[in-house]
A and B are shown apart, each in its own frame.
Chain A
Amino acid sequence: GQQVMQIPQYQHVQEGEDFTTYCNSSTTLSNIQWYKQRPGGHPVFLIQLVKSGEVKKQKRLTFQFGEAKKNSSLHITATQTTDVGTYFCAPNSGGYQKVTFGTGTKLQVIP
């Protein structure tokens, strides 16, 4: 079955530094989604990547989908305290009505 590894598990950065989390799958993916969960809150959908090598940007967030469609990354430029939270990837291998969430990367931004 599909195995998903998300790294790192935790990351502490100084405000203004960059941050990257990676999601790696053992199988080729149909698409991948990214979610953000603020402390005490619920996961919020950020974006979905579908095409091989796709790159999408949302302000300071850059999402990439690997050429082989087996991995993805989320990069935040110049982190702010509002970026604090846990970022989950949710890869989908296709043919299912559900996604599988990664283990998440917890980001702490030090002011």
Chain B
Amino acid sequence: SQTIHQWPATLVQPVGSPLSLECTVEGTSNPNLYWYRQAAGRGLQLLFYSVGIGQISSEVPQNLSASRPQDRQFILSSKKLLLSDSGFYLCAWSLAQAGGAEYFGPGTRLTVL
């Protein structure tokens, strides 16, 4: 069966510090991968998605970036965090087909102080 891992579960970072969140998927090959951000009590904002190694599509211009160095690894990064980067970051995967169901990881709660 497929599983998705995200770490860390919680993170508190000062403004201006770098960020690296990692997501890995097990039990499937060539998945589509996604990064979402959810502000407290709000909806899901798609940040990035990837249909293959090294292929990243950005949905929202910001100071975040994503990379996919391996088939089942997706990394979200920032060089300098802003207060507005606080939120619940969710990684998800889906089978490589248009409109497939997305399966979410447990998420990382990021607080930028």
Contacts and interface: CB of A to CB of B under 8 A. Distances in A.
A104 B98 contact: no
Contact of B107 (A42, A48, A103): A42
A97 B49 contact: yes
Interface string B1-45: 000000000000000000000000000000010100000010110
A88 B102 contact: no
Please classify how large the interface on chain B is, using the bins under 10, 10 to 19, 20 to 34, 35 or more: 20 to 34
Contacts of A106: 41
A88 B38 CA distance: 13
Contacts, number: 54
Taking residues whose C-beta sits less than 8 angstroms from the other chain, chain A's interface range is 20 to 34
A96 B34 CA distance: 13
Interface of B: 32, 34, 41, 43-44, 46, 49, 51, 90, 92, 94, 96, 98-99, 101-107
Interface majority SS (helix, strand, loop, mixed), chain A: loop
Interface in A31-62: 31, 33, 35, 41-45, 48
Contacts of A41: 106
A30 B98 contact: yes
Contacts of A88: 43-44
